């Protein structure tokens, strides 16, 4: 199986170099790496273009159209996704390929390690949320900094996805729609990426208040 890596990016000049270096330094190389620029006004594009990767542009602002543009452009069997403020481990791609093949997954979630965050967030809280979500919704969630999806299931589900970012979490929405069409989402606890805590620090209201509210909305709209 071949792997496309997709990285949505908006004003990521401080982080994208370390992200790309970690993806290019893999035990098993990606077959293509795509950065999807979403109208950045800083040096994101010029930094990305200095690496041997593909840079494309999405003019519609927002994570959903940016993700969709990248996933639609990807041409290989597995579409791995991470965020531009995330660093992936040396065996990230190899582990995705092995895990999805051995467990017959349509998509897989990895573990997130929030750099500089308290230990409780980086172990029991994250894993506990993922397991609770699985019991509550009947499927594991997906999160942008560490996930992969088969191109086959993406082609089946993409027309069904919700496009209102105020109502849904785009990756969780993706997981729920995969479930609706009979697909399988797995959770690989051992494949761990390191991601920024800036969303926690700079916008805690969004993370701790708006995030749970959207989850409740999604329970009503997606499980009915």
C-alpha distances in Å from residue 141, one per residue of 32, 40, 48: 25, 28, 29
How far does Cα 102 stand from its chain's mean position? 21
Contact 50, 161 (CB under 8 A): no
Instruction: Kindly report the CATH number assigned to the domain that includes residue 200.
Output: 3.90.550.10
Domain count, the chain: 1
Q: What is the per-residue pLDDT across 85-144, written as a single tens digit (0 to 9) for each?
A: 999 999 999 999 999 999 999 999 999 988 877 776 676 678 888 998 999 889 999 999
Q: Which runs of consecutive H residues, i.e. helices, occur in 162-203?
A: 170-180, 198-202
Provide the mean pLDDT of the chain. 90
Return d(Cα 50, Cα 121) in angstroms, integer. 35
Q: What is the per-residue pLDDT across 26-39, written as a single tens digit (0 to 9) for each?
A: 999 999 999 999 99
Return d(Cα 195, Cα 114) in angstroms, integer. 5
Tokens of 37: 């620029």
Could you tell me the residue range of the domain that residue 15 belongs to? 3-222
């Amino acid at each position: 199986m071949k792997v496309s890596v997709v990285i949505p990016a908006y004003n990521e000049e401080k982080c994208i170099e370390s992200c790309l270096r970690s993806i290019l330094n893999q035990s098993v190389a990606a077959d293509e790496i795509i950065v999807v620029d979403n109208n950045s006004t800083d040096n994101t594009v010029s930094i990305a273009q200095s690496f041997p990767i593909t840079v494309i542009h999405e003019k519609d602002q927002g994570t959903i159209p940016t993700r969709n543009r990248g996933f639609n452009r990807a041409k290989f069997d597995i579409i791995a996704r991470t965020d531009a403020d995330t660093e992936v481990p040396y065996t990230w791609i190899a582990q995705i390929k092995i895990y999805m093949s051995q467990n017959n997954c349509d998509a897989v979630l990895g573990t997130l390690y929030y750099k500089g965050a308290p230990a409780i967030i980086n172990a029991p809280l994250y894993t506990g949320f993922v397991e609770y979500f699985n019991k509550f919704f009947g499927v594991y969630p997906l999160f942008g900094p560490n996930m992969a999806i088969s191109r086959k299931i993406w082609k089946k589900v993409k027309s069904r996805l919700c496009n209102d970012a105020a109502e849904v979490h785009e990756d969780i929405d993706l997981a729920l729609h995969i479930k609706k069409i009979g697909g399988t989402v797995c959770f690989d606890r051992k494949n761990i990426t390191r991601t920024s805590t800036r969303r926690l620090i700079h916008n805690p209201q969004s993370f701790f208040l708006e995030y749970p509210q959207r989850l409740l909305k999604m329970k009503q709209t997606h499980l009915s």
